[in-house]
Each structure stands twice: as structure tokens, then as C-alpha cells.
């Protein structure tokens, strides 16, 4: 062999499609060393749909070569739609479409050399992917999704057969489900044995704002067991599945010169700014989680909205589906989660001018009247993902710059019956009609904001501690 591990290139997915695949965990295969080295490439060759999902797998190429040859895909060539790869750092100014590769190793060796050779990526680029946290491995590959071809299902069954698994020392004593668990590759020279499954996020999500922030000025408080940070908008709190490098936790750790990385205790949306608490130890991370579960942590928000909101408690119920947009209903629906927030104050303020919006990366979402906006002080009573954004939009007062929920709010204003869970919802003749109405309602929502919306976690308090974030961007 050439010295590089032989790999089967299993598939290419987008992030959205990968989510459903990875939720069933990942599994390793014990591949016997073949007499003829080969690479099997399976990828979808058509443009992405509106939701960015691959609809099926299709065989692009299958080739056999001599034992000293490995077939590769020239992914650095602009001909096949991919950019020319160099380095991930410094952070590029432009974004690229999601690209995720799934590989199975047939002959053991260095993980970075394996990926570089098979995907035709520069070694330094692969090292950057590993540094950023964009490469995973598992002992056994995941079960193919329902859209897999009969050939792919056959391959999966072949390489997860008990007779193959028995030959691998690493799977002994593990159930198949345990062997499916994925872990990040943390070292560029990490050895991967035959049968190892690799997932490579070739185009990880990037957060260029990390490099624009004076992180020292964002520190609100430093205690023995925690740090309070005034999180900038447009940056993840603790990282994403494909990027743990460009996060608030990482950059705050460096700004403070800490030897141990700060740990995430709770989340706020990437597009939201304000107070977050980062634990300095695993022990305090558990302590703070307990305070949240016991409802001992109080969070106040400032929301800049497009219309006036009445003072008092607003109640909705959120669909228990962990995918944006989050759908909510004013009526109780069995199994849906209670969402409550209390509007403490709502006052008229000037709508931010175009210069301010451009400076903070606020998107234009089509709201017709921009003479005035309204600043609401909100006590968050239950903490659901996108809760404040979804509830205010459902109340006819979407948050300024919220490119996901404001378009749907505008659509409901123009056609009140379009929301199947709204005040003016229609009665449907059958479940299929209602399903179509829900799909249409989802399609009326926009994309997630890129950087900033009019939402700030202005205060967080627990026990005797009270911390404030200062003035929001729109003041």
C-alpha cells in the first residue's frame, strides 16, 4: 500500500440531513484488508432544496485500482463546485455551503493523512479541521437512512455483521449501540484502525466576529468558580457541532489567561447578546445546572420589537420538535411544552436608523412602519429555545432584525388564517389538509439571523448575585 489508510468514502450530506442520521448514533465496521484497494463515492449531485437537505443518495463513481493506488475525488478543483482549499485560519470573509463527508477506514493509519489523501484536501487544512473540532470518529458506522440504496444497505449489513465485529479488539465488551457513539478527533496524528467511521465537516460554520471583539471589555465578573460574560451577538456560547474553537467560552478563556477552559452552563441564541455564566470547574457547572432546574436563576431580557406588547404574562405552548422554526399555539395541545414570559414594561423608542443597523449587522426584514419601535423588559418564566422570539412574533410584535420569525408574522397579518395554530386558525377537513397547512406555515418563516437581532439578556441573578449587561446595541 502507499502508506495511507484505504478508505471507503460513504456519503456527502448537508448539516440538516446529517442531524437525522447522527441522531441514531454511529457505528464502526471491521473491514478486512481487500486484495484490491478501492474507494466508493456516494454523493448527491443535485442542488440543495429550500431547507438545504439532500433528498437521497446517488452513486457518483466506483473504481478499482491496483493495490498501490487509491482513487481520490479532486474536491479542491472548482470544476466540481468546491472552492480551492488553503487554511481555515484566519477566518475567511465569505461562507461556503455545508459539506460533510462520511468515510470508513479499510487500513489503519494517521487520521489526518487518511482524510487528506482521500478527500484531496491540503494536510494543513485537515489539521485546521481537527483543531476547530470538525472531525469525528466512531467504532461502527451509522445505519443508513431510509433513502439509502440497496447496495449501501448491503454494505452496512456486511460490515456490521457479528463475524466481522468479533475480529476487532476495540469493539469487544461493547454493544453495537455503544460502538456507534461518536467522539471528536483531538490529535492530528491520532491512529484510526480498520473499520473506523469518520465524519468530516469540510465546511464548518464560522464566526468571524470572534476576531473583531475586545473580549477583555466584555467580562462582567470573575469569581473563583465562574465568569460572567456580556456575550456579543453573532457568536456561539460554547461552540457548534463542527466548530468549538470560535466560541465565547474559548475566547473568554484566552482573554482571562486561564489554563482550564471555561464551560457552558446555559445557552442563548447566537444572534442574542447579553449575560451568560461560564463555569470554571465541572463541579460548578453541575451546581449551576441545579440552580436552573430549581428555578433559582432569574433572567431578564430587553427586546426591541416592531409593535406594542401588553403588560402581563403571555402564555403559549411549543411543539416538541427540536428544529427551527419553533411552532407555538395559544391553545393547549397535548404533549406541547408550556411557554411563559412576563412583559414588565413596554415603551416607545426610535426605530434604529440604517447606519446603526448596518454597524451591528441587523437584517432588513420588511416591516412596513419604521418610525417607532418598542423596548420591552421581559421576565423569562420558562426557558425554551427561541421562546421569546416565537412568542413575541405570535403576538404580532416580532423582534427587530429577526429574519426567521418576522416574515411569518407579516404573512399572518396579511392572511390571518394562514397560521394553523393562531387566533384565526381554520378548521381542516382532515389530517392531511392540516399537515399541508403546517408545512406551508413553516415555509413562511425565514432563515436564522446572521449576526444581530433586537434581543439582549440584560440581567441574570441567583442567590445574592445580580449581574447586568449594560446598554443594548440600539440605545
Residues designated catalytic: 269
For the chain, how big is the Rg over CA atoms in Å?
25
Indicate the helix (H) or strand (E) that contains 278: strand 273-279
Burial category of 234 from C-beta neighbours within 10 Å (exposed 0-12, middle 13-18, buried 19 and up): buried
Q: Which three cell numbers stand for residue 341?
A: 414570559
Q: Which residues does 162 contact at the CB level (< 8 Å), separation at least 6?
A: none
381 φ, ψ (degrees, to nearest 5)? -90, -35
Q: CA-CA distance, 328 to 387, in Å (whole number)?
A: 9
Q: Which residues pair with 264 in a beta bridge?
A: 278
Q: Which three cell numbers stand for residue 390?
A: 416565537
Q: In this structure, what DSSP letter does residue 190 have? A: -
**How many Cβ atoms sit within 10 Å of the Cβ of residue 119?**
25
Q: CA-CA distance, 231 to 278, in Å (whole number)?
A: 11
Q: Which three cell numbers stand for residue 216?
A: 477583555
3-state secondary structure of 414: helix
Angle between helices 111-119 and 123-132 (to 10 degrees): 120
3-state secondary structure of 277: strand
Pick from 391, 372, 382, 386: nearest CA to 449: 386
Query: Contact, 244 vs 133, CB < 8 A?
Result: yes
Q: Which three cell numbers stand for residue 163?
A: 463475524
Q: CA-CA distance, 454 to 323, in Å (whole number)?
A: 22
C-alpha angle 250/102/208, rounded to 5°? 30
Look at strands 197-201 and 135-138 and give their pairing.
antiparallel
What is the b/e burial string over 426-437, where b = at least 16 CB atoms within 10 angstroms of the residue's CB? eeeeeeeeeeeb
DSSP E strands in 96-153: the ranges are 100-105, 109-110, 135-138
How many helices (H) and strands (E) would you count in the chain? 12, 20
Amino acid at each position: 500500500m502507499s502508506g495511507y489508510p484505504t478508505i471507503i468514502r460513504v456519503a456527502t450530506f448537508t448539516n440538516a440531513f446529517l442531524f437525522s442520521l447522527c441522531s441514531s448514533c454511529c457505528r464502526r465496521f471491521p473491514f478486512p484488508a481487500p486484495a484490491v484497494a478501492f474507494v466508493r463515492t456516494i454523493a448527491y449531485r443535485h442542488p440543495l432544496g429550500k431547507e438545504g437537505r439532500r433528498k437521497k443518495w446517488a452513486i457518483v463513481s466506483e473504481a478499482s485500482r491496483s493495490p498501490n493506488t487509491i482513487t481520490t475525488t479532486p474536491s479542491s478543483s472548482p470544476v466540481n463546485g468546491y472552492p480551492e482549499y488553503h487554511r481555515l485560519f484566519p477566518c475567511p470573509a465569505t461562507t461556503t455551503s455545508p459539506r460533510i463527508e462520511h468515510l470508513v477506514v479499510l487500513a489503519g493509519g494517521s487520521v489526518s493523512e487518511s482524510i487528506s489523501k482521500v478527500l484531496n484536501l491540503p494536510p494543513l487544512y485537515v489539521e485546521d479541521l481537527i483543531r476547530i473540532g470538525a472531525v469525528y470518529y466512531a467504532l461502527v458506522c451509522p445505519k443508513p437512512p431510509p433513502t439509502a440504496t440497496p447496495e449501501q444497505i448491503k454494505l452496512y449489513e456486511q460490515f456490521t455483521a457479528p463475524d466481522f465485529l468479533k475480529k476487532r479488539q476495540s469493539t469487544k465488551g461493547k454493544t453495537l449501540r455503544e460502538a456507534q457513539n461518536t467522539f471528536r478527533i483531538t490529535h492530528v496524528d491520532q491512529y484510526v484502525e480498520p473499520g473506523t467511521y469518520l465524519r468530516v465537516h469540510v465546511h464548518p460554520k464560522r464566526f468571524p466576529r470572534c476576531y473583531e471583539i475586545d473580549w477583555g471589555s466584555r467580562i462582567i465578573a470573575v469569581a473563583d468558580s465562574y465568569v460572567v460574560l456580556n456575550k456579543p451577538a453573532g457568536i456561539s456560547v460554547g461552540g457548534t457541532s463542527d466548530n468549538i474553537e470560535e466560541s465565547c467560552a474559548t475566547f473568554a478563556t484566552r482573554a482571562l489567561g486561564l489554563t482550564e477552559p471555561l464551560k457552558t452552563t446555559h445557552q442563548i441564541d447566537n444572534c442574542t447578546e447579553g449575560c451568560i455564566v461560564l463555569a470554571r470547574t465541572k463541579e460548578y457547572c453541575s451546581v449551576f445546572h441545579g440552580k436552573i432546574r430549581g428555578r433559582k436563576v432569574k433572567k431578564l431580557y430587553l427586546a426591541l420589537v416592531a409593535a406594542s406588547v401588553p403588560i402581563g404574562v403571555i402564555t403559549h405552548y411549543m411543539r416538541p420538535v427540536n428544529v427551527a422554526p419553533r411552532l407555538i399555539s395559544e391553545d393547549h395541545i397535548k404533549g406541547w411544552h408550556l411557554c411563559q414570559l412576563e412583559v414588565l414594561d413596554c415603551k416607545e423608542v426610535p426605530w434604529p436608523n440604517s447606519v446603526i443597523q448596518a454597524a451591528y449587522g441587523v437584517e432588513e426584514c420588511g416591516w412596513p412602519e419604521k418610525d417607532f419601535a418598542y423596548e420591552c423588559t421581559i421576565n423569562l418564566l420558562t426557558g425554551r429555545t427561541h421562546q421569546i422570539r416565537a412568542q413575541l412574533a405570535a403576538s404580532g410584535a416580532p423582534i427587530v432584525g429577526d429574519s426567521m420569525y418576522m416574515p411569518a408574522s407579516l404573512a399572518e397579518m396579511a392572511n390571518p388564517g394562514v397560521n394553523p395554530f393562531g387566533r384565526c386558525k381554520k378548521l381542516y377537513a382532515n389530517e392531511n389538509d392540516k399537515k399541508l397547512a403546517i408545512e406551508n406555515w413553516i415555509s413562511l418563516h425565514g432563515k436564522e439571523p446572521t449576526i444581530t437581532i433586537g434581543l439582549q439578556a440584560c440581567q441574570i441573578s441567583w442567590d445574592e448575585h445580580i449581574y447586568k449587561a449594560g446598554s443594548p446595541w440600539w440605545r
